[in-house]
Amino acid sequence: MERTFVAIKPDAVQRGLIGEILQRFEKKGFKILGLKFVLLDRETAEKHYAEHVGKPFYEKLVKFITSGPIVVMVIKGKNAVEVSRRMMGATDPSKADNGTIRADYAQIMERNIIHGSDSAESAEREINIHFKESELVEDWHRNIRGWILE
């Protein structure tokens, strides 16, 4: 089992897609460990996007992610990073497979609805930026686990 970080971006929040997106992760069987509705400040956004400093799109990323409220969450499950990224689809929605979150709800890369960590290391870094360990609830059990995993 691994943890990963997911953010529902301002465009999805403004369009009323929070519930539909959350439902996909729950229906897949992921366990939600933490969930917050936040308005990021610039400092937090800069920490989150630190690997993109100096790239031409960096300033637009920071400006966009701080433009309105977002939902940040930590989910846990088997191969959570890889599986959740497949559920999201390609970063460019025009290249995302049918049935993915981005293919279903987004049209352009600059408004692609959702962010997900791209590795276990990134997930832990991003989780630590957005959550205190005390805000995560690891010790609860879903009764459906046996119906999803062996």
Active site residues: 115
Which two tokens mark 22?
A: 């959350």
CA dihedral 100, 61, 6, 91 (to 10 degrees): 20
Backbone torsions φ then ψ of 36, nearest 5 degrees: -140, 145
